[in-house]
Structure 1
């Protein structure tokens, strides 16, 4: 495989993208920094097909990234392969307003051919290629220039390895016939709605107890205010105020600005500075959360009770057994919160009761809840037994 020097000019990048546009797939990875900023700073893009690989420097003066953006987001003939690509896709969306498509994530794909829940990149490479990844540059500051040869070699290795693993993984998927399992997961990964930053919805990420409309309305207003403050200053939202701090303020709103000095997580300066004044104005202007925005269930899940909790535990045991039987990750089949809802009597809009998930696991999960399925031990192994089958044997 041909490895190019670091690409820093528009002509080099345009020529590379023109060649890669004729590929069936490209492996893609990014290096970025986000510890001190609200928006992640893209520092390096690595890309490869089966014949060539390159690292692209988006911080290079005058570099026109449009050919790369077009390749990743507009070219439907080239499959874009990532590993644990959520943050990579987010960065591309932030820069272009579009997401890569079509897309394939090897971490998600591994869940369909093994019991690996979230296999790391190093383990993926060792499993498929028998190689140990050099982690020496893992915690480097990718925003510093110039980059060393070792840094560039480390970064490009991520996509050269991925370009070799993907065809092997695809072949195994085809043998198992589970490729269609992943269609929905990959479309979800590429859905722009997952990356659209809507400050009015920021409150939903904050853990808060209770369903009081006024409290949740304040939380929505404060969370939106925090997002806009952080965006304006381009600093992480936690630098403005932590989640637990804004949840506490929503629950116990201060009556006057001077009271902000008593809030845990805020400095004394908030009692008379401008940001404290803006926060107080936000609190005072907050309205109760409208009925159509109220959570449909308590944040910690449906109320199960003791018996329901036992049923949920049995469903989780059933999930482990089925995942072991078919050698797939249990998380791909169902999430714990879904099983708790199922145990609580919820049937509507649960992914586990739809499509291939219903056929592979959901039907048996329903049977267990309805008393049609039991557990048995056979040859020292726990297995599922349908009650009707046992009666017929008798």
Structure 2
């Protein structure tokens, strides 16, 4: 594989994109810094085909549009990532779109017996049999110039990714599990995962209250913090931490002077501009409208003591089935769906349709409905069928 020097010129990038566009897939990775900013600071983009690999310097004076167009507009080239959530967020921030089509090797690894969140180094070691150099892992990617070791380290990520991807696809083909991943890949590329208006920021916060007045304050204050963080390009927690925000929501200040007594805020909030804006954000806040009230999750009704025990049995069954099939339990079923099944829910559960039903849902349904039982035989746990399974629409 040909390894290019760091690309810092638009004409070199355009030529690279022209060549990459002729391949059925490319491996993609990024290096960024985010410790002190709201928006990720993109420092490097790495791409590779089976023939060549390169790192592109987004901080250089070059036009990234051809590369970004390849990511989000060219439907003929599959974009391959590993644990690509933050990479996808960066591309979405730059283009308003997610790469398409895409493939994430960490998700694929869940279907191939590598566990739920296998790291890139461990995946490479498992599939290729050698360890990666981690020496530049915590480098400051924002500093210039980047030395050869840093660039080599970054490019290695995509060269190995371009090598393991075809092997994983072949394993998925042989096991017939490729289609199992379609839903997960679609979810990963959902634009709503990357962009949301400030007025929806409250939905990401956990507050044990269904009081409309409290939730109205939460909505207002979360939107205020989101706007402050974006405008200053600072992490949300640098504006105000979640627990401090929750304290103010539950016990709102009557005046700005009261902010000086809030744990987590300095005395300066009594009279500074940001404190004034916080108090203004809470002024005349109305209770959350009934149509905005979060619905109680129909999949998670209150569990009786017996249902809790059934849920525990389902989790045990899931562990057994996951081990037998070599598929990560998280890919088959989630805990809240197991609890819902234990509580009597039968509709809207992924485990009761498609491949999940065949691999686990059928037995899970039999267990909760008394057609499957656990037993101990010669000191070992086994399952025994006590009645013939009933068919359901999958």
Same fold? TM cut 0.5: yes
CA RMSD of aligned residues (A): 1.8
**Structure 1 residues 213-362: aligned runs within 5 Å:** 213-297=212-296, 302-362=301-361
Report the secondary structure of 1:135's partner residue. Answer: coil
Name the CA shift for 1:180/1:383 in 2 (closer, same or farther; >3 Å): farther
- Partner of 1:102 in structure 2? 101
TM-score of the aligned structures, taking structure 1 as reference length: 0.95
Q: Alignment length, in residue pairs?
A: 389
Compute the displacement of 1:386 (Å). Answer: 2.4
More deviation in 378-387 or 12-21? 378-387
Compute the displacement of 1:339 (Å). Answer: 1.3
Name the CA shift for 1:241/1:197 in 2 (closer, same or farther; >3 Å): same
Compute the displacement of 1:358 (Å). Answer: 2.3
Matched, 1:185 2:184: yes
> Contact 2:27/2:49 (CA < 8 Å) preserved in 1?
yes
Cα deviation, 1:153-208, whole Å, max 9, x if unaligned, reads: 00000000011100111100001001010011111111112111321221121121
Distance 1:29 1:351 in 2: 31
Name the CA shift for 1:24/1:201 in 2 (closer, same or farther; >3 Å): same
- Partner of 2:201 in structure 1? 202
Distance 1:255 1:346 in 2: 45
Distance 1:100 1:118 in 2: 21
Report the secondary structure of 1:375's partner residue. Answer: strand
Compute the displacement of 1:249 (Å). Answer: 1.3
Matched, 1:31 2:31: yes
Name the CA shift for 1:262/1:349 in 2 (closer, same or farther; >3 Å): farther
> Contact 1:318/1:384 (CA < 8 Å) preserved in 2?
no
Compute the displacement of 1:377 (Å). Answer: 3.8
Distance 2:114 2:289 in 1: 42
Distance 1:346 1:388 in 2: 21
Distance 1:204 1:100 in 2: 26
More deviation in 211-220 or 28-37? 211-220
Distance 1:20 1:148 in 2: 25
Cα deviation, 1:31-56, whole Å, max 9, x if unaligned, reads: 00111111001100000011000000
More deviation in 29-38 or 273-282? 273-282
Report the secondary structure of 2:29's partner residue. Answer: strand
Name the CA shift for 1:362/1:55 in 2 (closer, same or farther; >3 Å): same
> Contact 1:257/1:271 (CA < 8 Å) preserved in 2?
yes
TM-score of the aligned structures, taking structure 2 as reference length: 0.95
Distance 1:225 1:116 in 2: 40
Compute the displacement of 1:389 (Å). Answer: 5.1
> Contact 2:110/2:327 (CA < 8 Å) preserved in 1?
yes
Q: Unaligned regions of 5+ residues in structure 1, if any?
A: none
Compute the displacement of 1:106 (Å). Answer: 0.4
More deviation in 4-13 or 261-270? 261-270
- Partner of 2:392 in structure 1? none
Report the secondary structure of 2:387's partner residue. Answer: helix
> Contact 1:210/1:298 (CA < 8 Å) preserved in 2?
no
More deviation in 225-234 or 207-216? 207-216
Matched, 1:76 2:79: no
- Partner of 1:20 in structure 2? 20
